[in-house]
Chains A and B, each alone.
Chain A
Amino acid sequence: MRQSRLRKFRSKYRGFWFTTKIILIWYLLLFSIMHFTSNTSAVFSDATSPAGKIESGYWPVDYQLVFTEKGNSNFDACGPFEVKRTIKNKGKEDMNDAASYEVYYHKANPKKHGEKVGEGSIPALKKNQTEELKFTAEEPGRYAFVAKYETVDGEMETWSFEIKVDCGSGQKTDNVKEKSNEDHKSAPEQSTEDAEKNEPNQEKVKEQDTSENKEDNNTEVEQGQQPEEKKESEAEITESGKDTVPPAEQEDSEVLSGDETKDEVKEGEEK
Chain B
Amino acid sequence: MEAASKLDVESIRADFPILQRKIGDKTLAYLDSAATSQRPVQVTDAMRQFTDYSNANISRSVHTLASEATDAYEGARAKVASFIGAISPDEVVFTKNSTESINLITYAFQNAAVERGADPRFVLKPGDEVVVTEMEHHANLVPWQQLCLRTGATLRWIGITEEGRLDLDDLDEVVNERTKVVSFVHVANLLGTVNPTSQIVARAKAVGALVGLDSSQAVPHIPVDVAELGVDFMAFTGHKMLGPTGIGILWAKAELLDAMPPFLTGGSMIETVTMERTTFAKAPAKFEAGTPPVAEAVGLAAAVEYLEALGMENVRAHEKELAGYMLEKLEAVDGVTIIGPRVPIGRGATVSFELEGVHPHDVGQILDSEGVAVRVGHHCAKPTCIRFGVTATTRASGYVYTTTDEIDRMVSALDKVRKVFA
Same complex for A and B? Answer: no
